[in-house]
């Protein structure tokens, strides 16, 4: 986690994840997340309050504010350089966002004046936490949501065994061939060992899809479903009880 407090590291991540050409899957899943939020808010009056866990530099929050009329975003992150970039990036949306420095594993509504929230999102953020930390985070999100609130989790998931790794390779080879002309590379390692090493070296600790769904239910969500999974990237939705 300390890596996010390093300004150069945070800036490099933001630079390579802001624009479309760096990851077609990130872009597609962010667009899907926006469609899901739009559908969720369709029957309710604005303001549509969204909690963004691990908001980083506000790249995703800006899209929510841009594309969802009547939305307001509360972004939480515990990296000062990320929050500084977010403040800059979100300046054009003054009055529609707030930022808080907090650890999302131990978030409370008292620390977030605009809650409870009709929706929450966590984009490529909670895989930074230990399994216990992820479970605490999901319980925090659930507590911050209004009855019937929707949580959209877009995150990396863990490949659970060497036995299934060749199937991921087959998928990555197809995607890499499809995106080669644009210079995109989706594949992550040629062997399971190499793949696991790269995940660990990045400091990532993703849970498997099954674990994430189980943890969401344990955290008190009444429904949890994976709506879009491509290789190790998933969009999972969960609904808080009414
Ligand atoms: C990979 S970046 C993603 C940023 C943003 N969601 C996006 O997709 O552009 C992960 C972010 O999660 C934040 N983060 C990781 N663990 C956190 C924690 N326990 N509490 C708060 N923020 C955390 C990091 O500081 C970083 O800004």
Identify the pLDDT of residue 21. Answer: 52
| Residue pLDDT, tens place only, 70-91 | 999 999 999 999 999 999 999 9
Identify the pLDDT of residue 188. Answer: 87
Identify the pLDDT of residue 16. Answer: 77
Query: Contact, 230 vs 209, CB < 8 A?
Result: no
Q: Please give the DSSP secondary-structure letter assigned to residue 158.
A: -
Q: Is residue 180 part of a domain?
A: yes
Residues 121 and 189 in one domain: no
Q: Is residue 15 part of a domain?
A: yes
Instruction: State how far the Cα of 83 lies from the Cα of 126, in Å rounded to an integer.
Output: 17
Q: Is residue 1 part of a domain?
A: no
Instruction: State how far the Cα of 122 lies from the Cα of 97, in Å rounded to an integer.
Output: 16
Residues 37 and 149 in one domain: yes
Minimum-distance ligand 1 atom for the alpha carbon of 17: 9
Q: Is 206 in the pocket of ligand 1 (CB under 6 A)?
A: no
Q: Is residue 152 part of a domain?
A: yes
More confident residue, 232 or 3: 232
| Residue pLDDT, tens place only, 213-222 | 999 999 999 9
Torsion angle of alpha carbons 118, 60, 105, 83, nearest 10°?
-120
What number of CA atoms fall less than 13 Å from residue 151's CA on the CB side?
33
Identify the pLDDT of residue 226. Answer: 98
* Spatial CA neighbour of 138 closest among 32, 217, 72, 242: 217
Identify the pLDDT of residue 182. Answer: 81
For 48, the enclosing helix (H) or strand (E) is strand 48-53
Residues 173 and 188 in one domain: yes
Residues 88 and 35 in one domain: yes
Residues 166 and 125 in one domain: no
Rounded distance from Cα 179 to ligand 1 centre (Å)? 27
Number of domains in the chain: 2
Rounded distance from Cα 4 to ligand 1 centre (Å)? 8
* pLDDT for residue 197 is more than 80: yes
Minimum-distance ligand 1 atom for the alpha carbon of 54: 12
Q: Is residue 145 part of a domain?
A: yes
Instruction: State how far the Cα of 109 lies from the Cα of 117, in Å rounded to an integer.
Output: 10
Residue whose entry in the numeric block shows the structure tokens 């019937």: 148
Q: How confident is the model at residue 19 (pLDDT cuts 50, 70, 90)?
A: low
DSSP helix/strand/coil, 229: strand
Residues facing residue 117 across a β-bridge: 145
Residues 80 and 60 in one domain: yes
- Please state the rounded mean pLDDT for residues 159-178: 95
Residues 190 and 74 in one domain: no
Residues 211 and 200 in one domain: no
More confident residue, 19 or 210: 210
Residues 197 and 144 in one domain: no
Residues 171 and 93 in one domain: no
DSSP helix/strand/coil, 181: helix
Residues 135 and 145 in one domain: yes
* pLDDT for residue 132 is more than 80: yes
Q: What is the mean pLDDT of the chain?
A: 93
Identify the pLDDT of residue 66. Answer: 97
**Whole domain around residue 180: which residue ranges?**
162-204
- Please state the rounded mean pLDDT for residues 24-46: 94
What number of CA atoms fall less than 13 Å from residue 26's CA on the CB side?
18
CATH of the domain at 48: 3.40.50.150
Where would I find the beta strands (DSSP E) of 78-185?
97-101, 117-123, 145-156
Residues 114 and 169 in one domain: no
Q: Is residue 110 part of a domain?
A: yes
Q: What b/e sequence results for 49-62 when a residue is b if at least 16 CB atoms lie within 10 Å of its CB, and e otherwise? A: bbbbbbbbbbbbbb
* pLDDT for residue 20 is more than 60: no
Q: Is 59 in the pocket of ligand 1 (CB under 6 A)?
A: yes
21-25 — which CB contacts under 8 Å span 24+ positions?
21/182, 21/183, 21/184, 22/184, 23/184, 23/186, 24/179, 24/182, 24/184, 24/186, 25/175, 25/186, 25/230, 25/231, 25/233
Question: Whose CA is closest to atom 8 on ligand 1?
Answer: 123
Q: Is residue 128 part of a domain?
A: yes
Q: Is residue 2 part of a domain?
A: no
- Please state the rounded mean pLDDT for residues 107-131: 90
């Amino acid at each position: 986690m300390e890596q996010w407090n390093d300004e150069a590291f945070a800036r490099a991540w933001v630079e390579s994840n802001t624009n479309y050409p760096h990851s077609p899957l990130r872009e597609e899943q962010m667009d899907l997340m926006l469609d899901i939020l739009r559908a969720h808010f369709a029957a309710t009056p604005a303001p549509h309050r969204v909690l963004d866990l691990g908001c980083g530099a506000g790249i995703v929050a800006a899209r929510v504010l841009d594309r969802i009329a009547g939305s307001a975003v509360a972004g939480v992150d515990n990296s000062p350089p990320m929050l500084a970039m977010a403040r800059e990036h979100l300046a054009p949306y003054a009055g529609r966002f707030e930022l808080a420095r907090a650890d999302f594993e131990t978030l409370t509504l008292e620390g977030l004046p605009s809650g409870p929230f009709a929706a929450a999102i966590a984009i490529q953020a909670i895989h930074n936490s230990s399994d216990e930390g992820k479970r605490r985070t999901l319980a925090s999100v659930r507590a911050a949501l209004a009855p019937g609130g929707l949580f959209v989790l877009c995150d990396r998931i863990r490949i659970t065994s060497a036995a299934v790794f060749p199937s991921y390779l087959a998928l990555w080879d197809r995607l890499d061939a499809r995106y080669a002309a644009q210079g995109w590379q989706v594949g992550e390692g040629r062997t399971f060992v190499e793949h696991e090493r790269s995940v660990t070296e990045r400091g990532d600790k993703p849970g498997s899809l099954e674990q994430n769904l189980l943890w969401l239910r344990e955290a008190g969500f009444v429904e949890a479903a994976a709506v879009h999974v491509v290789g190790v990237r998933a969009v999972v939705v969960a609904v808080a009880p009414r």
